Structure 1
Amino acid sequence: MKTLIISDLHSNIHALEAIWEIEKDSDQIICAGDLVDVGPYPKEIISWVQDHNVICVKGNHDSYIIDFHDSNQDMTLVNNKNEFWLQQNLDQLDQNDIRFLKELPETAEIEIDDCLYGITHAYQGYNVILGSHAFNKFLLDKFSNSAIERIIFGHTHRQAICHVSKNQLWVNPGSTSYRSYLEPEDKSTGSEYMTLIDGKFEFKKLEYNKSILNAKINNSNDALNQETIEIALARFPA
């Protein structure tokens, strides 16, 4: 069995479609959250996730969109650079899209190759689990099933696999969309994800054509201010 593991899609459909062109022989897809925000294609991402029956949990940026929608904030008063993307995304989403985001679970469980996996978006901010004690405590706090041996995270935009005991490990596939701002020295611009085939993980990186993505960002100046556009274009150099 082949499982495609992705996370932090951030409204970037071009990266996701480039990955799928290579990995479309996957039997199932797992996503560790953050479908939307900080990218120009939220509706396309939600539709893709629905059409491909992705096993998906809710990320913090998905919650930001929900909270911003429910706040009924006057969009003409937006002046926080972090809110410009929220506005741009919300302008494209309908009530069915919002309902889908709201109904995403905080956690999920799945058995793969006789091993039980837990899926959630984040551990504790940008911290990582460094030992078996912390792993077991997190299981008790976050999941209802203490038999889980492996956890799939997202959030940090950093690819990693960490064994904390003989049978316990956590996995982060990285972000399909962009690299972590916490590591400005990392100049890579491709997508990151993982595959799991018959119990074996493989780290994947993929460069893709960003010209259409950049054009979409440049043409979003009705919703985004110039600073937000420049930050976004720096993340996705053509």
Structure 2
Amino acid sequence: MKLLVVSDIHSNIWALETILSAEKAYDQLCCAGDLVDYGIAPKEVISTLRQKKENSMIVQGNHDRHVVKTYHEHGFRNIAPAMYKWVHYNCERLSNQDISYLSALPLHRFFEADGWHYLMQHQYDEAYGCIETPHQFELYWKSHTPKKYWNAERKRMIFGHSHRQCRHQLATGMEWINPGSVSYRRPDDPDKSAHYACIEHGVLTLKRVPYDRTPQLEEARRYHAHHAMMETELQDFFFFFGSAETSRDPLPIIEKESKRINI
């Protein structure tokens, strides 16, 4: 059996489609959350994943909840340009049906594949903590999985959230993995590729693939040209999807476009 494991897509349909094109043959798609926010194609990402519902397992991430909360509170309307963020951009492009889909995603999923028992959840704690010891692993496993899974010989947890691709083996048959972010890294990691993982017949392979970052960067350039978004939100995009050296480089000088921006 082949599992395709992704996380932290963040409304980046170009990265997601590149991965799906590279891994056409798989049995189960596993997504560890954060489908939306901090990208420009939330509806397209949701639509793509909904089309794969027959062979996919997806959990809800903190950015998914943030978008849902902002949408329901109408917190994306009449935002001053200096305070306008990508979450507002996402909310404007989603329907009630899209929001209902995100709201209904479970916080965790359990499944078995090729002799391994899995727990998938977006994040370990409310920050960026991780499991460091077998004891810590066992406590978390027993508090988050059905009792029938407690004594499994081979146990894996799948987390997203940190955007750091890794595999932590704490003991034989006891490990947790993070496939990395489909969309972007943390500010201290300059890698620009899309990260994901494959687990085939129980064997884990961490993978990455380059993709077209131009659409995300061009949208940031468009908003910057019209002074229509919070500066730090734009700086993030010029770093993640452009060539800025840090996520807080000064924004480039861009001549304002003649046409009024449609926001």
TM-based fold match above 0.5: yes
**Quick one: distance in 2 between partners of 1:231 and 1:7?**
19
Cα distance in 1 between the residues matched to 2:184 and 2:242:
11
Structure 2 counterpart of 1:3: 3
Deviation larger for 217-226 or 104-113: 217-226
CA shift, 1:206, in A, is: 0.9
Matched residue type, 1:167: G
Aligned to 1:86: 87
Unaligned 5+ segments in structure 1 are none
CA displacement 1:69-127 (0-9 Å, x = unmatched)? 1222362245785x611110000000000000000000001111021101000112211
**Distance change (3 Å), C-alpha of 1:122 and 1:227:** closer
- TM superposition shift of 1:220: 4.5
- Paired residues of 1:14 and 1:213 also in contact (CA < 8 A): no
TM-score scaled by structure 2? 0.83
**AA partner of residue 162 (structure 1):** H
Q: CA RMSD in A?
A: 1.9
Partner of 2:201: 198
- Higher mean displacement: 58-67 or 146-155: 146-155
The alignment covers a number of residue pairs equal to 234
Greater gyration radius: 2
What's the % identity of the aligned pairs? 32
Cα distance, 1:209–1:132 mapped onto 2, change above 3 Å = same
TM-score normalized with structure 1 length: 0.91
- Correspondence 1:15-34 to 2 at 5 A: 15-34=15-34
Most deviating of 47-56 and 5-14: 47-56
Aligned mates of 2:157, 2:46 — CA distance in 1: 24
Q: Partners in 2 of 1:133 and 1:202 — Cα distance?
A: 26
Structure 1 contact 173–193 (Cα < 8 Å) conserved: yes
2:45 counterpart residue number: 45
Counterpart for residue 171 of structure 1: 177
Residues 76 and 92 in structure 2, CA contact (< 8 A), matched pair in contact too: no
Inter-partner Cα distance in structure 1 for 2:140 and 2:202: 23
1:176 to 1:133, Cα distance in 2 relative to 1, 3 A: same
Q: Distance in 2 between matches of 1:211 and 1:64?
A: 26
How do 1:44-63 and structure 2 match up within 5 A? 44-53=44-53, 54-63=56-65
Secondary structure (helix, strand or coil) at the match of 2:212 reads coil
